Structure 1
Amino acid sequence: MEDSAPPAQVSHGSAEPRATPAGRITIAAIGLFVALLGATAATILQRRFGGAVDELMVLALLLNVALILLGWHRHRQITQLVGQRLANSARTRLTPTSDPLTGLLNRRALTEQGSAMLLDASRRHRATALLLVDLDRFRAVNELHGHATGDKLLARVASQIQAELPPFALAGRLGGDEFVCAFVFDPRDPDTVQRIAERLVSHLAQPIEIDGAGIQITATIGLARSNVERGSIDALTRAAKIAMCAAKEAGRNRVGWFDPAMARALQARNELEQALRDAIPAGQIIPYFEQQIDLATGQLFGFEVLARWDHPVHGIIPPDRFITIAEQTGMIADLSLAVMRQAFHAARDWDPSLSLSINISPAQLRDAWLPQKIIKLLLETGFPAHRLEIEITEGALFENLPLAQSIVGSLKNQGIRVALDDFGTGHSSLGHLRALPFDRIKIDRSVVKAVASDSDSAAVVSAIAGLGSSLNLPVTAEGVEDIETEGWLRNLGCARGQGYLYGRPMNSANTRRLLAERRLLAPGAPLLDPDHRLAG
């Protein structure tokens, strides 16, 4: 591997302004003025004592005075301009190029020196590798140990990064907990870059002791190289960041190479995000209803509300395409409330025995005003609170259990029921069942799917059903897709089930038609859906 030599240092010389041509002309004019003044003085004396006045001599004297004044004014202007330029040059030389916390290059210096490295590598038929290092969950360090400890950790990480880089490599800090490294390598041997990145990930995962506190972090690295993603150092940085984000989504604490397909996927995601921002207020996110069945009697007792995107061009878009985007961008609260409003409006004149179950995002469980927002929707739409069941995933409870207890308590005080969703997926805790007054347990479809063929899954379902029975909490199983699975669930003690065995999720119009066929609309309710469209 060949390395770039460091750039030569350039001396900027003295900051004192030098004499200008205008200054030299002014000096000459002054000399001429003195000579003329002497001659003129002699003439005046001769005139006083007799003799003729030389008018040309007087005219020359006046013109010379004007030349002196003009030259001196121009000389002052140029001297001030030169002084300003020298001052600006001095300030530029004094502008810091390093990050004050870590001693690494700052963003500006990294851009300048990185650009020079790219040019040099291209001339020598070499490639430049750029590594973007991002610490995983660094915010937790600041929250648990304080920002002073966090700053010391960043300085320690900077030292570890420099220790792993080859000679003449560049290392900089973009800000926060993001670092950038760049070095020249032989494009025929990309494994060199991979090995350096993997060593960095391994070493940064080792415990670090700061002020007596043991701190363990991990890092995720995105890699880009100039022979794949051509362009400026900024373009390489953007590519490496895309690769880093993809690596974080894949599980963190790893290395990910940039691929041009990632940029196309990011562009598609950004377009989908913008379309989603427009779709929510436009009413394009609509409720679909999935049947929930009493396993003992086969009777319909309610529906789970699911979100679908009724796109004007692409048709129905499933939730796995847009729910994650909504959660990551903070749109999930508006989306959820919009779907609730439509679902409450559609179901308010269904048979009073039918309930609605609606899943709450973990992001919404951070909002202390969530109960008031739901109650406001119930009042506006006229949907009874006792027919609503809010589903909360157990993973959402770990972040702030006291706030979750407050929210659940407020909902229960209004007569709204609360279910613990996705039970059996690895987060299950008896402590949460004791800490929160749940009304129901829902078993995740991943466990239900294999209950008829896998003894371990059957044992898990049986244990959950037994737990629910002992706590007087009925159990609902998701993902029931065939008669055999339904029979197993019934025998294992599950009270209710939902899944494709009972029908696919339906929009409000088709759901209303189903209820009309089963005589499950309230007396006098119209057969049209709330938007006055024919059912079906």
Structure 2
Amino acid sequence: MAGRLISFRRLRNYPITVAVGMDMAPLHAAYRTLRFSAVAIGSGVSLLVLAVGFLLIRHKRRVLASREVLRHAVENLDQGLVMVDRNGRISLRNSRYVALLDLPPDLSAPGADYAQLVRWLAARGEFDQSGAGKSHLASSAEEGGVRFAERIRPNGTALEIRMRMLSGGGLIGTYTDVTDRRRAQEEIHHLAHHDGLTDLANRTLLEERLTQAMAAAERSGGQLAVLCLDLNRFKPVNDTLGHAAGDELLRQTARRLHGLARASDTVARVGGDEFVLVQTTLSQPGDAAALAERIMVEISLPFDLNGHAVTIDTSIGIALFPHDGHTVEALLKNADTALYRAKEAGRGVTCFFEAEMEERLLERGLLEQDLRAALAKGEFSVSFQPLHNCGTRDVTSFEALLRWENPERGKVSPADFIPVAEECGLILPLGRWMLEQACTVAASWPHPYTVAVNLSPVQFQRGNLPAQVAEVLAQTGLPANQLELEVTEGLLIEDSEGALATMRALKALGVRLALDDFGTGYSSLSYLRRFPFDKLKIDKSFIQAIELDAGARAIVDAILAMGHSLNLRVTAEGVETEEQLAFLLRHDCDEVQGFLLGRPVPAEQLCRSLRKKVGAAMA
């Protein structure tokens, strides 16, 4: 109920009282309207304040949470992190930064003076660039406002440092431990420049160091030597004792060579059993010769390979800078050429490079090319030289001799092309062809003469010789007892065990075996006792000297007596005079071979001669 509001007032000069009344409803309506507006506005403002407060609280929580996440993130970085403000104070750093640099907490805490920390690091030697047992700067660069540096700390730790200078002042720095990465890079670099078996320099590092040594020698006006060497009789070690023993032999050889070299020299392994030694600061060529002699002596000492005492030797070729070449390629090539000449001269020989060697090597290369083409073009042929009974002079057998006539070179001596064929591997197909031709021709003879075929050591070492011989005998129809295979003493020296096994397999086929050129190599009675030979052939150098040399006569007499005592047939090669034949007859030689009684003749001519002889006998 609204009611009314009444007000009374008495007039001062009149006896009148005035009463004024107002209905309350309009007043209450206005009040209610004002109160509703005030309450609504107050509620809205309160809600707004609450909402703003909630948002501020939530934002603060988010900021706090972000800061915590950031703190954890910074603390868990694998890198050291430091931030310095514009006033030179540390505003942020993580524990990894402190640990990497071994920093004291008071100098590295937030708010600390960064300049004072740098001075402390400098006093401790962190920035020493000498590298003499202290920290040093390995590398430095700048890109895009960021400075990159790599520093080696005194404890050996490698740090990669990146510093970014901020535009408003201050900086941000990161420190990464790259010790393992650096060590891996160094190992990769080492593997790329060193031989994996011997840890000597490989060809890449050899060429780098030789280039540097040549530049130093050129500046000083000095000279240097390149010694190229390989091991003689290395393959038999591999074949008889196994590859593990061969590897150990190479490692021990590397250690011996390294022990002979000076700190400024370089020793490298550039092939299977081939080594190169660069001798720097050479005063005279005699220094290189003296080093080669020391190498010869050292390598000739016995090697202990798992209880096996092994003795080898080496051949050495030497090229001098600047006399023998002004480039790395020329020096290495000429040293290798000299090595090739040393091996030609015999085992255990040292040769200095000479210009004529290169000409001979070029000629050898051309000869090899012609030799490879000759087999395909059919330029080879086989001739046969008779062997005679020393007393009756009757023909007992024939020796097959390989002949080569080139359209441009003419007749090429076997002494010239056989060594080249052995070195380039052509002796294997050529030897097979020779064996097939000799057996085919011998199978067509009207009389069952024995045919002798020379074998190369390479055929023993690289081919399945017994199987090849059996196959050729089956193809040609020649009885095995009509085939005689000749070998030289060099084969027995290089690989005696392998040769013995092959010879026994050949004997099992029924073929005969002869030791050719006896007396010219390292002749040993043990060869005759161990190996199943049927015949000895005395080298022609002794036969042709018996008329003038008493020593040669004594040697021939001794070989004949020794052969007879071992029940071996003995053949004298190179008989060219009646006096030689008479001497051999007086000392009971079995067979003779030489120009006195018969020269080599082509296969066709021999076949015609034999058929004519048989026809005359039948008539």
- For the residue of structure 2 that corresponds to 1:297, the secondary structure is coil
1:407 is aligned to 2:505: yes
Match in the other structure for 1:174: 270
Change beyond 3 A, Cα 1:434–1:368 = farther
Report if the CA contact (8 A) 2:404-2:412 is conserved: yes
Opposite residue 295 of structure 1, the aligned amino acid is: C
Superposed CA deviations along residues 274-333 of structure 1, whole A, max 9, x for unmatched, are 221222233222111112122222222332111111212222212101111222233223
Match in the other structure for 2:105: none
Superposed CA deviations along residues 78-122 of structure 1, whole A, max 9, x for unmatched, are xxxxxxxxx99x969972355566665443233223223323433
1:331 is aligned to 2:456: no
1:117 is aligned to 2:213: yes
Greater Cα radius of gyration, structure 1 or 2: 2
Change beyond 3 A, Cα 1:266–1:512 = same
Change beyond 3 A, Cα 1:367–1:224 = closer
Opposite residue 261 of structure 1, the aligned amino acid is: E
1:490 is aligned to 2:589: no
| Distance of 1:402 and 1:211 partners within structure 2 | 24
| Distance of 2:515 and 2:250 partners within structure 1 | 40
Report if the CA contact (8 A) 1:301-1:353 is conserved: no
- For the residue of structure 2 that corresponds to 1:181, the secondary structure is strand
Deviation at 1:469? 4.4
Q: Greater CA deviation, 488-497 or 104-113?
A: 104-113
| Distance of 1:214 and 1:434 partners within structure 2 | 23
Instruction: Tell me which of 277, 280, 284 is aligned to 1:183.
Output: 280
Instruction: Tell me which of 434, 452, 457 is aligned to 1:362.
Output: 457
Change beyond 3 A, Cα 1:378–1:101 = closer
Report if the CA contact (8 A) 1:351-1:521 is conserved: no
Report if the CA contact (8 A) 2:390-2:590 is conserved: yes
Deviation at 1:222? 2.1
Larger RCO of the pair (alpha carbons < 8 Å, separation 6+): 1
Report if the CA contact (8 A) 1:224-1:257 is conserved: yes
Match in the other structure for 2:203: 107
Change beyond 3 A, Cα 1:493–1:284 = same
Match in the other structure for 1:376: 471
Match in the other structure for 2:384: 289
Report if the CA contact (8 A) 1:445-1:479 is conserved: yes
Aligned pair count reads: 445
More strand by share: 2
Report if the CA contact (8 A) 1:444-1:478 is conserved: yes
Match in the other structure for 1:243: 338
Instruction: Tell me which of 392, 407, 429 is aligned to 2:487.
Output: 392
Superposed CA deviations along residues 136-176 of structure 1, whole A, max 9, x for unmatched, are 445566665835743651452243133xx3x6444444355
Change beyond 3 A, Cα 1:228–1:435 = closer
1:264 is aligned to 2:373: no
Opposite residue 507 of structure 2, the aligned amino acid is: G
TM score, norm. by length of structure 2: 0.62
Match in the other structure for 2:44: none
| Distance of 1:263 and 1:315 partners within structure 2 | 23
Opposite residue 108 of structure 1, the aligned amino acid is: T
| Distance of 2:479 and 2:222 partners within structure 1 | 70
TM-align CA RMSD: 4.0
Report if the CA contact (8 A) 1:114-1:182 is conserved: no
Structure 1 residue ranges without an equivalent (≥5): 1-7, 21-26, 29-86, 525-536
Match in the other structure for 2:260: 161
Report if the CA contact (8 A) 1:134-1:221 is conserved: yes
Deviation at 1:132? 2.6
Instruction: Tell me which of 186, 189, 192 is aligned to 1:95.
Output: 189
| Distance of 1:443 and 1:401 partners within structure 2 | 21
Report if the CA contact (8 A) 1:127-1:227 is conserved: yes
Residues 35-74 of structure 1 mapped to structure 2, 5 A cutoff: none
| Distance of 2:375 and 2:354 partners within structure 1 | 32
Match in the other structure for 1:351: 446
Match in the other structure for 1:530: none
Opposite residue 18 of structure 1, the aligned amino acid is: G
Report if the CA contact (8 A) 1:405-1:435 is conserved: no
Q: Greater CA deviation, 269-278 or 360-369?
A: 360-369
| Distance of 1:214 and 1:301 partners within structure 2 | 45
Report if the CA contact (8 A) 1:104-1:158 is conserved: no
Deviation at 1:480? 0.8
Deviation at 1:500? 0.8
Change beyond 3 A, Cα 1:284–1:181 = same
- For the residue of structure 1 that corresponds to 2:227, the secondary structure is strand
Deviation at 1:369? 4.0
Match in the other structure for 2:77: none
Match in the other structure for 2:323: 228
Superposed CA deviations along residues 377-404 of structure 1, whole A, max 9, x for unmatched, are 3343344444333333355342425413
Structure 2 residue ranges without an equivalent (≥5): 1-129, 147-165, 168-180
Report if the CA contact (8 A) 1:351-1:522 is conserved: no
| Distance of 2:289 and 2:529 partners within structure 1 | 49
Report if the CA contact (8 A) 2:489-2:521 is conserved: no
| Distance of 1:257 and 1:417 partners within structure 2 | 44
Match in the other structure for 2:26: none
Superposed CA deviations along residues 413-470 of structure 1, whole A, max 9, x for unmatched, are xxx4333433444555555545555443332223322334444443443444445445
Match in the other structure for 1:50: none
| Distance of 1:304 and 1:290 partners within structure 2 | 5
Report if the CA contact (8 A) 1:350-1:522 is conserved: no
- For the residue of structure 1 that corresponds to 2:606, the secondary structure is helix
| Distance of 1:185 and 1:329 partners within structure 2 | 36
Opposite residue 543 of structure 2, the aligned amino acid is: V
Q: Percent identity?
A: 34
Report if the CA contact (8 A) 2:265-2:277 is conserved: no
Opposite residue 181 of structure 1, the aligned amino acid is: V
1:280 is aligned to 2:406: no
- For the residue of structure 2 that corresponds to 1:180, the secondary structure is strand
Report if the CA contact (8 A) 2:226-2:276 is conserved: no
Match in the other structure for 1:194: 289
| Distance of 2:376 and 2:403 partners within structure 1 | 14
Residues 303-318 of structure 1 mapped to structure 2, 5 A cutoff: 303-318=398-413
- For the residue of structure 2 that corresponds to 1:253, the secondary structure is coil
TM score, norm. by length of structure 1: 0.70
Instruction: Tell me which of 243, 251, 255 is aligned to 2:350.
Output: 255
Superposed CA deviations along residues 172-209 of structure 1, whole A, max 9, x for unmatched, are 443554133142446xx433443444444445545677
| Distance of 2:307 and 2:476 partners within structure 1 | 58
1:302 is aligned to 2:397: yes
Deviation at 1:479? 1.1
Change beyond 3 A, Cα 1:338–1:140 = closer
| Distance of 2:458 and 2:498 partners within structure 1 | 11
| Distance of 2:308 and 2:436 partners within structure 1 | 50
| Distance of 2:211 and 2:277 partners within structure 1 | 14
Match in the other structure for 1:146: 245
Report if the CA contact (8 A) 1:246-1:256 is conserved: yes
